[in-house]
Amino acid sequence: MRAGHIMERSHPSHRHIGISRALFLICLLYLLSTVTIQASQLRVAVSALDSGMAVEHVQSGMESELMRQGYIAGANLTWIDNNKPQLSDVNVTISTAENTPFITLMSQQGLSTDIYLNNIHFDADGNIDLTERYEVNFIKRLLPKINTLGVIANRNVMDISKMQAFLTQQKNNGVDIIYYYVDDSAELRQATRILAPQVDAIYLPSHITDMPALNNVVMVAERNNVALIGEDHSSVGKGVFAVYNIDYVQVGRDTADLLVRLAEGSDGFNSDDYLAQPILSLNLDAAARMGIELSSEIINKAKYIIE
């Protein structure tokens, strides 16, 4: 604003203002523009206490949203070493430990907010109440006639506790589980061929849908009318017909938006805690190729749909 005002005042006079005065104005404009740039600088420290798909996708979502808002690493965005949080504008902590916030944001001004995963919410007194909000029988709702669920997993992936807990829930709901472990992407076609005659659907964790030979799984499943259900929302764009899970990339985008507002000290910033809920994504074209008929009720529940 001040730079524009100086230039505006210089327009009415058409006199030659002299080299020294011109240089003075140029330098002043440069200094004022530098102040504006510095005001938009953002310094962020991220401390990821865990690893895995959820954390990676949150970080990816954060980076993409910050870029969308004009924050470019090396220009006006600086990633601060998490060992020096005092140098950042906002500190972000990510943890998948139970009974704790999934993401905590804290500004240097003392403003903070937390993001919890779906199985934690606050009761009327503000206390944390552990409640199972996740719709554990969603596979039965998607495929009412399912009896057996196949699972393809990489035997080299160590942290599969969440996947096993999810599958235990399905087993408790009356679905038999058959596992097939692979060592690499080249074994996916064989795994799907072996499972297809034995199961009604195949569940694919994110470390499988990230493999380059996923298209082989999709082709075999379609030929055998076997439904493919994924863990990661991006997999519906790769031929998986359904995902019901938290969209961690979107959580990352929301986190980026919150940290920008925290850094700016936005008036009226809502420091209430947030709850990340699971959503349903569907690929209706893939469902049709796999011989799956979905009710209008299920389709209407979907947040994202590929037709």
Alpha helix (H) residue ranges in 112-187 = 138-142, 161-172
Same fold, 42-118+248-276 and 138-245+280-306: yes
Q: pLDDT of 47-72, one tens digit each?
A: 998 878 888 999 999 999 999 999 99
pLDDT score of 290:
96
Residue 61 backbone phi and psi in degrees, to 5: -65, -40
pLDDT score of 268:
58
Residues of the chain where predicted confidence (pLDDT) is lower than 70: 1-39, 118-136, 159, 266-271
pLDDT score of 289:
96
**Segment holding 254, helix H or strand E:** helix 248-264
Domain 42-118+248-276 in this protein, CATH class? alpha beta
CATH 3.40.50.2300 is held by the domain 138-245+280-306? yes
Q: pTM of the entire structure?
A: 0.76
Token representation of residue 130: 């552990």
Q: Distance from CA of residue 173 to its chain's centroid?
A: 28
Domain boundaries, the chain: 2-39, 42-118+248-276, 138-245+280-306
Q: pLDDT of 188-203, one tens digit each?
A: 999 999 999 999 999 9
pLDDT score of 271:
66
pLDDT score of 162:
74
